[in-house]
Amino acid sequence: MQIDVLTIFPGMFNAVLGESIIKNAQKKGLVKINIIDLRPFSKDKHGKVDDKPFGGGPGMVMNPEPFFEAVNYIRRKTKDRRWKTRVVLLTPKGATFNQKLAREISKYEHMILICGHYEGIDERVREHLVDKEISIGDYVLTGGEIPAMAVIDSVTRLLPGVLGNKDSVVGESFSENLLSHPQYTRPADYKGTKVPEVLLSGDHDKIKDWRKKQSLKTTKKKRPDLIKRRSS
pLDDT digits (tens, 9 = 90+) for 181-225: 999 999 999 999 999 999 999 999 999 999 999 999 999 999 998
Chain mean pLDDT for the chain: 92
Q: Minimal CA–CA distance to 90: which of 117, 69, 109?
A: 117
Beta strands in 97-204 (DSSP E): 110-115, 132-135, 189-190, 193-194
Q: Minimal CA–CA distance to 118: which of 174, 48, 60?
A: 60
User: Which helix (H) or strand (E) segment is 89 a member of?
Assistant: strand 85-96
> In this model, does residue 80 exceed pLDDT 90?
no
> In this model, does residue 56 exceed pLDDT 70?
yes
CB 36 within 8 Å of CB 4:
yes
Cα–Cα distance measured from residue 26 to residue 22, given in angstroms and rounded to the nearest whole number: 6
CA dihedral 66, 72, 88, 16 (to 10 degrees): -70
How confident is residue 166, by pLDDT bands cut at 50, 70 and 90? low
Which 3 state secondary structure label does DSSP give 174?
Answer: coil
Query: Quick one: residue 191, left, alpha or beta (phi over 0 = left, psi -120 to 50 = alpha)?
Result: left
* Model confidence pLDDT, tens digit, residues 96-146: 999 999 999 999 999 999 999 988 999 999 999 999 999 999 998 999 999
Q: pLDDT value at position 229?
A: 78
> In this model, does residue 169 exceed pLDDT 80?
no
Go through the domains of the chain in sequence order and give each one's CATH number.
Answer: 2-156 (3.40.1280.10), 171-231 (1.10.1270.20)
Q: pLDDT value at position 230?
A: 75
Q: pLDDT value at position 173?
A: 54
Q: pLDDT value at position 165?
A: 64
> In this model, does residue 179 exceed pLDDT 80?
yes
Q: pLDDT value at position 174?
A: 61
The identity of residue 74, as a single letter, is I
How confident is residue 159, by pLDDT bands cut at 50, 70 and 90? very high
